[in-house]
Amino acid sequence: MNALARLHGRLLREFSRRTTDLLRAALPVRLALPVIEPFLAENVAKEVRKDTLVIRRAGAGRVPGDAREILAAARAIDREFLARVGDLPVRIEIPYGRIEPLRLRRIELGLDTAHRVLDAWQRRRRAREAFAPGELERRVFELLRIYAEETEALSHAVRLPGLLAPLRARVARHLREAMTEAARTLARTPHAAGQNR
């Protein structure tokens, strides 16, 4: 369980690094990046914590309602995140009505994927053996794509400081495009598809 959580944490950090690299190419984002980069780093750490809950729950065995319990725990993690980023020049109010359906889909897919990977590992099999050919890569892409949708929904609630405020919509669009492209390329890597385990 811990090995999968560490592997997934590395995957999300690599996803964030690739996304940030792509964002540097877009002028409006390049202007805002020094302001939003610490916020994005905190956001990745928050998502790693949430996904670790998903992986641990999958390892403990699935029970009815576990996705909803994780969703409730995610709100507590969000509150801690908002307290940590309170000093940054970025302001946000999380629109739970828009993001929780997306989060629930991601949690459910994550639970099923993690359960299947952990089960394969317990049987001393490679992770990809628990899936049809190409299915694990599609799941990794879908998990990251849903995460990008959540981020886009959240971006509408982000308030950038002063002169950067008019760039919010363009920054949000470039962020979603960069996240989708990073997800597409990362999902194809052996590391993301669990080929080494």
Which is higher by pLDDT, 90 or 131? 131
Mean pLDDT (the chain) is: 83
pLDDT in tens, 113-166: 999 999 999 999 999 899 999 999 999 999 999 988 888 887 766 666 565 556
For residue 70, is pLDDT > 60?
yes
pLDDT digits (tens, 9 = 90+) for 171-185: 677 778 888 889 988
* Residue boundaries of the structural domains of the chain: 2-187
Q: How many CA atoms lie within 13 A of 190 on its CB side?
A: 4
Instruction: Examine the pLDDT at 196 and tell me if it is beyond 60.
Output: no
Confidence grade of residue 195 (pLDDT, cut at 50, 70, 90): very low
How big, in percent rounded to 5, are the helix, strand and coil portions of the chain? 80, 0, 20
Mean pLDDT calculated for residue range 81-105: 81
pLDDT above 70 for 52: yes
Query: Between 15 and 192, where is the model more confident?
Result: 15
pLDDT at 18 over 80: yes
Asked if the model's pLDDT at residue 1 lies above 70, the reply is: yes
State phi, psi for 131 to the nearest 5 degrees.
Answer: -135, 155
Under the banding of pLDDT at 50, 70 and 90, the label for residue 25 is: confident
pLDDT (average), residues 13-17 = 89
Report pLDDT for 113: 95
Q: Look at residues 64, 67, 68, 52 and name the one whose alpha carbon lies nearest to residue 1.
A: 52
Tell me, letter by letter, the H, E, C secondary structure of 98-134. Answer: HHHHHHHHHHHHHHHHHHHHHHHHHCCCCHHHHCCCC
Top mean pLDDT of 66-75, 76-85, 159-168 is at 66-75
Q: Which residues contact 127 (CB under 8 A, 6 or more apart)?
A: 116, 117, 120, 121, 136, 193, 194, 195, 197
